[in-house]
Amino acid sequence: MSSSLLSRSGALRGRRSTASTRSAYVAGPPSDPIVADNDPKVDVSGSDGGSRQSPPKVISWGLLWSLLLRHKLRIAVSMATLVGCSACTLAMPLYSGKFFEVLIGKTPKPLWNVLSKVAVLYALEPILTIIFVVNLNTIWEKVMSNLRAQLFQRVLIQKAEFFDRYKVGELTALLTSDLGSLKGIVSDNISRDRGFRALSEVIGTICILFTLSPELAPLLGLLMITVSVLVAVYRRSTVPVFKAHGMAQASIADCVNETFSAIRTVRSFGGEKRQMSMFGSQVQGLVNTFGDLRGAFAATERINSVLSGAEIDEALAYGLERDIKSQEVHDKNFGLFINGYDINTQSLNMHYMSALKSTSSLKSLAWSGDVCLEGVYFSYPLRPDVEILSGLNLTLKWGRVTALVGPSGAGKSTIVQLLARFYEPTRGRITVAGEDVRTFDKSEWARVVSIVNQEPVLFSLSVGENIAYGLPDDYVSKEDVIKAAKAANAHDFIISLPQGYDTHVGERGGLLSGGQRQRIAIARALLKNAPILILDEATSALDAVSERLVQDALNHLMKGRTTLVIAHRLSTVQNAHQIALCDDGRITELGTHFELLGQKGQYAALVGTQRLAFE
């Protein structure tokens, strides 16, 4: 979040309440492309309409079945070996009995005959068991890999508000512990005395009972079935307990995550005791001993309940789907996502495919035209009754720098989020060279916008890999990485690192200084070479020396790009081609530094205040 030049004197403004109007972008059926060339029709009725399907459950019996069916041969082998080893187990006592009858002379048969049968049974049973276990495990591992990939993809394509709602720990738990208990369904049930083996042996026993005593068999069979049903009912009734257990685990993970990732803040406030008390208050160790189907059912329910809401960002999902489909041929890693993709999800994106324009022209439009926010209204989905932007108009002139200033909480960072299309306006539109940006899919849009903010996130990779992340889908040569690093004033410090460009930057870039991280982020943005650039307080966290180095790099980066700068330093703001003052959800003053000073309005007053503060 930014704290602008003018924010020092600005108080947090109250916001008008408004009726929430969520817009469904494309509400028409697939056969009716409703995004016209010059007039993208945006449904602002607030209804998602009957034409929108709710997304399919991530984990359903149908999906599991279809994934299992991909391994028909292995399943056949597993079934055959299951029957074989169960038959061996059931036959063992029969033949052992016969062996003793021969031994004591009750049955006149050659001993070797019976003995060889017993030996074959004892040798065959473990062999068949191993084949059964290995096969079933392999099948389930493959099914789980597919499910995990599906789940990861489904989380990745959710709308931004989904990530406002759920914490990282909860999402991590879905992919780790919850999916782990689903995995346990099979791996915990392939041992000799449980699950599949036990079931097949019960069936075998009932068959034997029928051959031995047809009169008693129905009675005993009924007894066995009654006991099984009672056990199943008991297990079902404890599913909520397991669901609570999973949630407790997620919240523990979240507490751990939050504490350790903010360890410096915790230390600086002496907050260890508070964190310990928070950790102690989680529901610890609830029913840890149950580790079977109940946990798995609860986990599946939890995964589906988190992800079943209609929150998929379709404008993103469509582009992603198209990209990985074209890339799948070259990159095996995408196989998992494509294989698991079911027909329901595809049809979900169909109306998008029919509505979106060809994206090939987007780059050239963005390199040649203005970016305009036209009558933009916006409320965050989690606070729909608080209007943050109220009919905001702003033109970012092509190739020019626009500085955005305003009191704290005025909505400057919100404008950035809308320009990045993390959220869509509730009303109004954003255009590039006159075209509504919603006519382009989001992965295309991401390629034309670069954002450098106050706390750039680096990945736990090498310096070189982090810079190359600017073009994540392309092969980037080392020369190009070095060229970008030089332009970003980063080359000199990079070559002085222990392994130069191969130096690992640590988790979130923690092994580098703030200024170094920032320059790597700028090198990454330079490599990306996007026509639209957003600098959200990019230099505010730096000391004077780092700021000068970073500012030089930024000046290089801004050249020829349509740039929006949010900054709190006067020097950055006054050199902009135009300055926009955002207040109360609108742009209230617009002009150059001197024009606005001449107007003697809010900008002039606040600049005066800042000057006074320095004097």
Ligand X SMILES: Nc1ncnc2c1ncn2[C@@H]1O[C@H](COP(=O)(O)OP(=O)(O)OP(=O)(O)O)[C@@H](O)[C@H]1O
Q: CB-wise, 414 or 539, nearer to ligand X?
A: 414
Residue 405 Cα distances to 10, 376, 411, 447, 535, angstroms: 11, 17, 10, 26, 12
- The secondary structure of 303-337 as a DSSP string is HHHHH-SS-B-HHHHHHHHHHHHHHTTT-GGGHHH
**Residue 417 beta carbon to ligand X: minimum distance, rounded to whole angstroms:** 7
- Site for ligand X contains 1 (CB under 6 A): yes
**Residue 157 beta carbon to ligand X: minimum distance, rounded to whole angstroms:** 18
Q: Cα(418)–Cα(405) distance, rounded to whole angstroms?
A: 16
Of 21, 359, 408, 503, the one binding ligand X (CB under 6 A) is 408
Q: Cα(262)–Cα(511) distance, rounded to whole angstroms?
A: 15
Q: Which residues pair with 35 in a beta bridge?
A: 40
**Residue 335 beta carbon to ligand X: minimum distance, rounded to whole angstroms:** 35
DSSP letter at 517 equals H
Q: CB-wise, 71 or 159, nearer to ligand X?
A: 159
Interactions with ligand X, residue window 364-403 (CB under 6 A): 380, 382-383, 388
**Residue 89 beta carbon to ligand X: minimum distance, rounded to whole angstroms:** 59
Of 40, 56, 319, 411, the one binding ligand X (CB under 6 A) is 411
| Residue 288 φ/ψ, nearest 5 degrees | -70, -15
Q: Which residues of 327-350 are buried (b: 16+ CB within 10 A; e: fewer)?
A: ebeeeeebebbebbbeeebeebbe
Q: CB-wise, 27 or 171, nearer to ligand X?
A: 171
CA torsion sign for 543, 549, 551, 557 is negative
Q: CB-wise, 409 or 456, nearer to ligand X?
A: 409
Q: CB-wise, 418 or 437, nearer to ligand X?
A: 418
**Residue 605 beta carbon to ligand X: minimum distance, rounded to whole angstroms:** 17
- The residue to which tokens 């209230």 are assigned: 588
Of 7, 489, 516, 578, the one binding ligand X (CB under 6 A) is 7
Segment near ligand X (CB under 6 A); pick from 63-71, 117-125, 405-413, 498-506: 405-413
Give burial (CB, 10 Å; 0-12/13-18/19+) of 395: middle
**Residue 388 beta carbon to ligand X: minimum distance, rounded to whole angstroms:** 5
Segment near ligand X (CB under 6 A); pick from 70-78, 209-217, 321-329, 408-416: 408-416
**Residue 406 beta carbon to ligand X: minimum distance, rounded to whole angstroms:** 6
Q: Cα(156)–Cα(150) distance, rounded to whole angstroms?
A: 10
Q: CB-wise, 319 or 409, nearer to ligand X?
A: 409
Of 2, 89, 259, 345, the one binding ligand X (CB under 6 A) is 2
Q: Which residues pair with 578 in a beta bridge?
A: 402
Q: CB-wise, 155 or 303, nearer to ligand X?
A: 155
Q: CB-wise, 408 or 588, nearer to ligand X?
A: 408
Q: CB-wise, 163 or 341, nearer to ligand X?
A: 163
**Residue 382 beta carbon to ligand X: minimum distance, rounded to whole angstroms:** 5
- Site for ligand X contains 158 (CB under 6 A): no
**Residue 415 beta carbon to ligand X: minimum distance, rounded to whole angstroms:** 7
Contact of 171 with 303, CB cutoff 8 Å: no
Q: At what angle do helices 314-327 and 343-355 cross, to 10 degrees?
A: 110
Of 340, 409, 509, 515, the one binding ligand X (CB under 6 A) is 409
Please give the structure tokens belonging to residue 554.
Answer: 């930024």
The amino acid that residue 609 corresponds to is T
Q: CB-wise, 410 or 523, nearer to ligand X?
A: 410
- Site for ligand X contains 453 (CB under 6 A): no
Of 86, 345, 349, 413, the one binding ligand X (CB under 6 A) is 413
Please give the structure tokens belonging to residue 407.
Answer: 């009191």
Edge-first strand listing for the sheet containing 586-591: 449-453, 532-536, 562-566, 401-405, 578-583, 586-591
| Closest among 188, 199, 186, 227 to 235, alpha carbons compared | 227
Interactions with ligand X, residue window 192-251 (CB under 6 A): none
**Residue 361 beta carbon to ligand X: minimum distance, rounded to whole angstroms:** 31
CA torsion 69→70→71→76, rounded to 10°? 40
Q: CB-wise, 379 or 518, nearer to ligand X?
A: 379
Of 67, 410, 468, 484, the one binding ligand X (CB under 6 A) is 410
Q: CB-wise, 218 or 309, nearer to ligand X?
A: 309
**Residue 424 beta carbon to ligand X: minimum distance, rounded to whole angstroms:** 14
For ligand X (CB under 6 A), the number of binding residues is 18
Q: CB-wise, 290 or 380, nearer to ligand X?
A: 380
Q: Cα(349)–Cα(436) distance, rounded to whole angstroms?
A: 19
| Closest among 334, 282, 337 to 150, alpha carbons compared | 337
Give the three-state DSSP class for 462.
strand
How far, in whole angstroms, is CA 410 from its chain's centroid?
29
**Residue 170 beta carbon to ligand X: minimum distance, rounded to whole angstroms:** 17
Interactions with ligand X, residue window 49-108 (CB under 6 A): none
Segment near ligand X (CB under 6 A); pick from 262-270, 321-329, 347-355, 404-412: 404-412
Of 197, 412, 442, 524, the one binding ligand X (CB under 6 A) is 412
Segment near ligand X (CB under 6 A); pick from 130-138, 411-419, 465-473, 592-600: 411-419
How many angstroms separate the first and last alpha carbons of the chain? 27
How far, in whole angstroms, is CA 295 from its chain's centroid?
24
Q: Cα(458)–Cα(507) distance, rounded to whole angstroms?
A: 8
**Interface with ligand X (CB under 6 A):** 1-4, 7, 164, 380, 382-383, 388, 406, 408-414
